[in-house]
Chains A and B, each alone.
Chain A
Amino acid sequence: MSRPRLIKESSAPLPLDRELLVRIHDLMVKTRVLEERLIQMYKQGHGYFWIGGPGEEAFNVPLGLLMKKGQGPEYDYLHAHYRQSGTLLALGEEPIGALRQMKNTASDPYSGGRNFAGHFSLRKYNVAPVSSPIEVQYSIAPGTAMMQKRVGGDAITIVTGGDAGTAEGDFATCLIWSSRPANPLPVLIIVTNNKWGISTSAEGQHGEPRVSERGKAFNIRSKTINGNDPVEAYNELKEAMEYVRTERKPFLLEANVSRLYGHSSASGANYVSEELDCLKQFETRLEADGVLTRQQMDELRNRYTEDMAAAARIARDEPLPAPETIWKHIFAEDK
C-alpha cells in the first residue's frame, strides 16, 4: 500500500491545506504549553504527580482532528492512554479541565479530583476513562468495536498505548479479538513507540524489530510511521482510518514518537534535549514554507502561555472535593 510521498523530501511543499497546517500547529502549541504548565504546577506543589505526552503532539493532535466525534456507537470510541492531551484538545476540550485535574479540584471535569493528570474521561465524545494500568484498554477496545459493527455505519474504535504496554497480554488479546475470522472488528490499534518503559529501554526487552510486525501473524494490516511529523501522521491516520471505516477490519499503526519530559514527574519531568522535538521541527518547516512567521509563532506561544497561567491561577484557588463525596458514584444510581 505504501506509495512514494513527496513529503519525505524537505524541499517539497507541505501537502496539507494552509488552514489545516495552521490549526494543527495551533493545537500542538496549545498542548505543549498545557503540558509545560502542568509540569510547572507539579514543581510548584500544585499537584502530586504529573504524567503526560509532550513529544507526542504531532501524532495526537491529528488523531483528535480526524475522529468522528460524538456519543454512542455511531461515533468513534477512543480508549486512550495517559499521554493524550493533544487528542483531547483537538476534540475541542478547554485546557483548564486538565489543569483542574492536576490540582485535583472538585471542578475537575474528568474525575472530580480523584485521578492523576492526563486521566481523561469524556463520555460525550466516547472517550473511555483513562486508567493508570498501561494495557487494559487493549482488552476493552474490541467490545466497543463489536457494538459499532453491529449498528452499521462507519464509526470505529481507536485504542492507543505505548510500546512498553505491548509486552502485556492485553495487547495480544486486542490483536486476537479484533481479527477473529468469526467477527473481524473495526479497531484502529495504535502504539505510540517512544522506545522507553519508564527507565527501561525497549532495546533490552523487545526482540521484535517493529511492534507493527506483530499484526502480520493475524493478517492485520500494519504500518510503522514517523509520529514526529504531523503531516505524515495526519495522512497515515487518515488512510488507516478510512481502511478501518470501510473494510470494518482492524489496522495496527505504530507511530514513532519522542518522550520529551521523561516518563512522569517520578523521573523529574525535565526536558530531554537529545529527543527530537516535533514542534520545533514543524515550526522550522512552517517558517521555511512561509506558512507562518517566527513572530506569529512566538506570539501564539506567548498568548497560550499567558492564557494557561491565568487558567492555572483559577484552578489553584478552587476547592478540593468534599470528603463525603467519596461515597458518590460508586454505583450509577447515585447520578
Chain B
Amino acid sequence: MANMAQAIRMALHYAEENLGVTDIFGEDVGAPLGGVFTCTQGLKTAWNSPLDERGIIGAAMGIALGGGRPVAEIQFCDYVYNTIDLLKLAGNTCWASNGDWNLPMVVRTPVGSGIRGSIYHSHSFDATMTHIPGWKVVMPSTPLDAYGLLISACKEQNPVMFLEPKALLRVKGDERIPGEPDDDRALSKMIDAPLGDRSQWKPQWPAELEAFAIPIGKGKLLREGTQLTVVSYGRTLPLCARAAQTLADEGISVEVIDLRSLWPYDWEMIKTSVQKTGRVLFVNEDTEVTNFGEHLLRRTVEELFYSLLAPPRLVAGKFVPGIGLADTLEMASVPQQNDITDALRSLAGEQP
C-alpha cells in the first residue's frame, strides 16, 4: 500500500490532470527535490518558489483570484506563522466582498511532532488554524483519507488548509487507494524519484487513479464501542486506535472517531457516539490552552451534559513554548501512547 506522501502525490497528479489544478508550488516543491517529504515529486505543474512564505500564500491567493487553482505548500507549519494575516485575508475575502470573490486554493503543510524536529519542526497548527474563519481545515491520518480529502480540497471553491501529520507521512496504509497497483515495490518504482541524478527521470503514474473523494466535514467511525468515545485526528489517531485495542483486551469497549475534518467537523458523529457511551476523551497534540479539543469539550458540556456519565476530558500538548529536541523533552511535551491509554482507562473507571 502507498504511504501518505505517495498518496498525496497521486492525488495531486490526479488533480492537475483532471481537476484543474494549475500550480503546485512552494519551497523545494518542484524538481529536483519534489518536496522535503517527497509529496510533490514528478508533478508537471510543480515549481520552486523563493523562500518567502508570505509570497507563497499571497501568490496562491492571486492565482486563485486570477482563475487558477493553486496548491501551495508551506514546508513546515512552523513557518506559516508569518502568514497569519494573509490566511485571515484569504478566509475573509468571500465574506468581506459580500460574496463577490472566492478563493479556490489549497495550502498543504506538515504538522506536529514525531520526527524529533525540535522547536521549529514540531509545531502543530490545528488550534491556530481553527481560529481563522472562512477556511476548511482537514487533517488525515491514513494514506487513503489523505488521497480522498485532497481530491475534495482540489474541487473546493474555498480555501482549504490541508494539515499533514508529518509522523505519518511515511507510514503505509491498510486500505488500497483506487487505482494504486497491488505491489508496493512496483508503485515505488513508478512514482518515487531515484536517488542521485533525476534530470532524466519521469514518473509513471498509475493509469487507473480516480476521483475518489472523501467529503470535507465527515468523520470516520474507525472502531465501534459502547462504553467510551475517543475523538482524535492526525498523529494521535493511531495511538487512540491502539489504546482502544489494549482496553478491549481488558474488557473495555471504546469507540474511536477519526475526525479528519476540523472545519467543518462531524458533530453529528460525535454527538451520536457520546449519547451512546456517556464518556468522551478528545486527543490532539497542539498546546492545550485554547485548543480545538477545548472547543469540542465545551460543546459537549453545553449540548450533551445530561448524556454524560463522567466529565469529558482532553489530552493535548503541554502549554510550553516549544517541543525540545531530546527524546525525553518531546515525549513529555506531546501525548504518547501511555498518556492516551491511561487517560482512557481512567475515564472508563471514573464513577460519580
Contact = CB atoms under 8 A, between A and B. Distances in A.
Interface of A: 72-73, 77, 79, 108, 110-112, 114-115, 119, 121-123, 128-129, 131, 133, 136, 138-148, 150, 157, 169-170, 173, 176-177, 180, 182, 328-335
Interface stretch (B90-98, B186-194, B292-300, B327-335): B90-98
A302 B166 CA distance: 66
Interface string B77-117: 00000000110010011111111111000000000000000
Given A139-B58, A146-B59, A176-B50, A128 B96 contact: no
B102 to A, nearest CB: 4
Contacts of B66: 73, 77, 143-148
A72 B64 CA distance: 11
Q: Which 10 A-B pairs have the closest CB atoms?
A: A143-B62, A139-B58, A147-B66, A112-B98, A332-B102, A144-B66, A329-B99, A121-B97, A332-B157, A143-B63
A157 B92 CA distance: 22
Nearest to A321: B98
Contacts of A330: 94-95, 133-134
Contacts of B100: 110, 121-123, 129
A261 B155 CA distance: 47
Nearest to B92: A131
B62 A144 contact: yes
Nearest to B134: A330
Contact of B58 (A72, A143, A328): A143
Most buried by A among B64, B68, B136, B157: B68
Contacts of B95: 114, 328-330
Contacts of A119: 96
A274 B204 CA distance: 69
A334 B99 contact: yes
A14 B66 CA distance: 38
B94 A331 contact: yes
A145 B68 CA distance: 11
A147 B65 CA distance: 9
Contacts of B133: 330
Contacts of B49: 177
7 contacts: A131-B96, A141-B58, A143-B65, A145-B66, A146-B62, A328-B99, A329-B99
A58 to B, nearest CB: 28
B57 interface: yes
A123 B68 contact: no
A129 B62 CA distance: 11
Given A129-B101, A136-B86, A139-B86, A170 B58 contact: yes
